[in-house]
Amino acid sequence: MNITVSQKNDVMIVAVQGRLDTIGSSELEDWSNKNFDPPKCDVIMDFSRLDYISSAGLRTILNLSKLMKKNSWKFSICSAQAHVKEVLEISGFDTFIPLYRSVDDYLA
Amino acid sequence: MKTVEEFQIQNFSKGLDELRVNLGRIASSWSLSKKQLFEINLIVEEIYANYTEHVENNTIHPVEIKLCREKDKLVITITDQGPEFDPTKIPDPDVHLPIDQRKAGGLGLYLVKHYADTISYTRTDNTNILHIEKKLT
């Protein structure tokens, strides 16, 4: 699990690379506890290099999404691979997390 | 022709790696697509995660995983000697609730039910046996 952060137009872009399985999700959870206490801007998760997601990953994403909402920041996901996007849709996460095709799409 | 592959997950902390490596090996020998491998991995991880949540005091016995393929039909059999647990009895979560009312619990088995065609559970000789059928299309 690799997490790379960059900033563009007041948005924090968090690129997650690897697998959001039970192990990867707890790594992301630890990372966000350190870095989003509290969150200070809008966040978009770049999932272009995320190969795998399970319900453990969904739990982490749901918690993150709730934390952002509580602090009145926008939380979005972009560039998810088709099978990852499908899991987000089956679980109904696309009803409360906007999914974008790319970071540029989000910024446009 | 019927092809069978079997392996065990023995080590609790490295279980997911064992699972990923074994399924990767089987997927390449069976020429499965990336999406098929993803769906099979997800199904087995979710069942395994449920098992590890339900065992007492980390007394983890090996979980046996058998994949049996006949043409485009795949049967995954997952066997463990943990406490009785029938995942088919777990109610589905409401995936249409707004974010404030959403809880993450139950999504794993919901995804398993989505990606599998049939799931059946039997308990014999203190053993949980789960049969999961999936068409490889």
* Cβ pair B45:A22 closer than 8 A: yes
- For chain B, what is the domain count? 1
In the predicted structure, residue B60 carries a pLDDT above the cut 70: no
Contact A39, A67 (CB under 8 A): yes
Banded model confidence at residue B134, pLDDT cuts 50, 70, 90: very high
Report chain B residues whose CB lies below 8 A from the CB of A70: none
Contact A53, A20 (CB under 8 A): yes
Among residues of chain A, what percentage have pLDDT more than 70? 100
- For chain A, what is the domain count? 1
Average pLDDT over chain B, rounded to an integer: 92
Banded model confidence at residue B76, pLDDT cuts 50, 70, 90: very high
Report chain A residues whose CB lies below 8 A from the CB of B46: 54-55
pLDDT at A49: 98
* List of residues 6+ apart from B106 with CB closer than 8 A: B90, B91, B92, B93
CA-based nearest distance B66→chain A, Å: 21
pLDDT at B12: 65
**What pLDDT digit, counting tens, does each position of A40-69 carry?**
999 999 999 999 999 999 999 999 999 999
pLDDT at B106: 85
* Cβ pair B110:A90 closer than 8 A: yes
ipTM of the complex, rounded to two decimals? 0.93
Contact B102, B110 (CB under 8 A): no
Closest chain B residue to A63, measured at CA: B104
- CATH number of the domain that A16 lies in? 3.30.750.24
> Which member of B39, B95, B99 has the closest CB to residue A66?
B99
- CATH number of the domain that B126 lies in? 3.30.565.10
pLDDT at B94: 95
Banded model confidence at residue B105, pLDDT cuts 50, 70, 90: confident
- What single letter denotes the amino acid at residue B105? G
pLDDT at B57: 65
Domain that holds residue A44: 2-107
In the predicted structure, residue B11 carries a pLDDT above the cut 80: no
Domain that holds residue B107: 2-135
Contact A62, A93 (CB under 8 A): yes
